[in-house]
Amino acid sequence: MSQQTWTAVDDYFNDLLVKEDDALLAAAENSDAAGLPAIQVAPNQGKLLHLLARLRGARRVLEIGTLGGYSTIWLARALPEDGRLVTLESDPDYAAVAAANIARAGLDHLVDIRVGKAQDSLPVLEAEEAGPFDLVFIDADKPANPEYLQWALKLTRPGSVIVGDNVVRDGAVTDAASDDPRVQGVRRFTELIAEHPRLTATTLQTVGSKGYDGFTLALVTD
């Protein structure tokens, strides 16, 4: 199998089941034009986040890592009109692109973009009693994933869902001796989930237009 085949399969199913609209297409195009890295979720992955939020009946969502707001739009569209999505972005230029994309999608009344290091924003959310969040999407700097997981647990409740993206790292996650801090961050993130008495989880490998990777899906239990 090849990347060409993976992409063609994604295109086939996306054409039938996902159908990006103008706001989503513009979000991806504007992010590219602004020079943002092309690391946003694929359309089918964005739709999966949307469906997970709807299945959970989410009213409050926390996203760690906004980039250009593509995944933010998918998640915000799953919320009721009185819902709230807080998204954390460390780069002010990225946040500005995201804000424009989210406003163009007509979702700025639902989305609160916090600019600054997530490690600084997360304690503020706790102090504000912004939670509990029904779904947390972790898609930021992988070395900090273990810390983000600990904060996600503080800001959720039984029944909440935690999603961690890009956890397979082209298979590098299996290398315990890796000197890549992103790999080590993902490995520790996974180990903490496995050890935690309040979490039950699984990880799925994925192939598609974004290459070979995967995501972890965890449920907060009693």
Please answer whether residues 170 and 211 qualify as being in contact, where contact means their C-beta atoms are separated by less than 8 angstroms. yes
Tell me what percent of the residues of the chain surpass a pLDDT of 90: 96
- Report residue 1's pLDDT band, with 50, 70 and 90 as the boundaries: confident
**Would the pLDDT of 205 be above 80?**
yes
Backbone region of residue 205 per phi and psi (left: phi > 0; alpha: psi in -120 to 50; beta: other values): beta
Instruction: Provide the 8-state DSSP code for 209.
Output: T
**Single pTM value for the model:** 0.96
pLDDT, tens digit, for every residue of 164-200? 999 999 999 999 999 999 999 999 999 999 999 999 9
Angle between helix axes 145-154 and 181-195 (nearest 10 degrees) is 30
Measured between alpha carbons, how far is 13 from 44 in angstroms, rounded to an integer? 8
Cα dihedral 104/108/111/115 (nearest 10)? 80
- What is the per-residue pLDDT across 69-124, written as a single tens digit (0 to 9) for each? 999 999 999 999 999 999 999 999 999 999 999 999 999 999 999 999 999 999 99
